Structure 1
């Protein structure tokens, strides 16, 4: 059974703070479900957007794990905002979490898959 999105996001925020970073929930979606998008901001102003990975990327041995894939890396803030507005129009239950992971690579905080 998959944990609720609310619990997943709460655990993510705590994990980031424990690693010495900072996280804030920019938009709360549905408590039980909803896609999670993570904006990872770097110290030099660069930003990367991570969204839900396609269903084909899930491991059969861990079907409940949430995975993320890079969507827009290095884009300016306006491009990320436009992309997130589009996602929110498509699914109003989305969650948006903004992260400054500090010295910890984002890949150590969320499971990232690339294709």
Structure 2
């Protein structure tokens, strides 16, 4: 059984804070099943946007996991903000979480698929 998005985001925030980072919910979506987008900022000013991975990335052995894919990165936040605005117009129930993970690699916080 897949946990609700609200619970999953709460757990992500606790993991980030527990690792000495910072996290905030920028936009709260549907509590039960909203898609999650994560803006990850580094302390050097770089930013990366992660969104839900395509359905083909999911493993039938682990159908309840949440997988993410890198949607864009760089130091120009306006490009990534524009992408998020398009996503919000497409689906008003999305969640946007911004994190600064600190010393913890993003791959330890999110299941990132590179396919």
**Could you say which TM-score interval applies, normalised by the shorter chain?**
over 0.9
**2:112 partner SS:** coil
In the alignment, which residue of structure 2 is the partner of 1:24?
24
Aligned mates of 1:15, 1:44 — CA distance in 2: 21
In the alignment, which residue of structure 2 is the partner of 1:68?
68
Q: Which runs of 5+ in 1 are unaligned?
A: none
Tell me the alpha carbon deviations over residues 44-87 of structure 1, each in whole angstroms, 9 at most, x when there is no partner.
11100000000111111110000000000115111111000000
Aligned mates of 1:77, 1:29 — CA distance in 2: 21
Aligned length: 115
Tell me the alpha carbon deviations over residues 66-110 of structure 1, each in whole angstroms, 9 at most, x when there is no partner.
000000011511111100000000000000000000011000111
Shift in Å, 1:21: 0.7
**4+ residue runs over 3 A deviation:** none
**Cα RMSD (Å):** 0.7
Shift in Å, 1:7: 0.4
Matches within 5 A, 1:1-115: 1-115=1-115
Aligned mates of 2:106, 2:48 — CA distance in 1: 10
Evaluate the alpha carbon distance shift between residue 17 and residue 35 of structure 1 in structure 2; reply closer, same or farther with a 3 A threshold.
same
**1:59 partner SS:** coil
Q: Which runs of 5+ in 2 are unaligned?
A: none
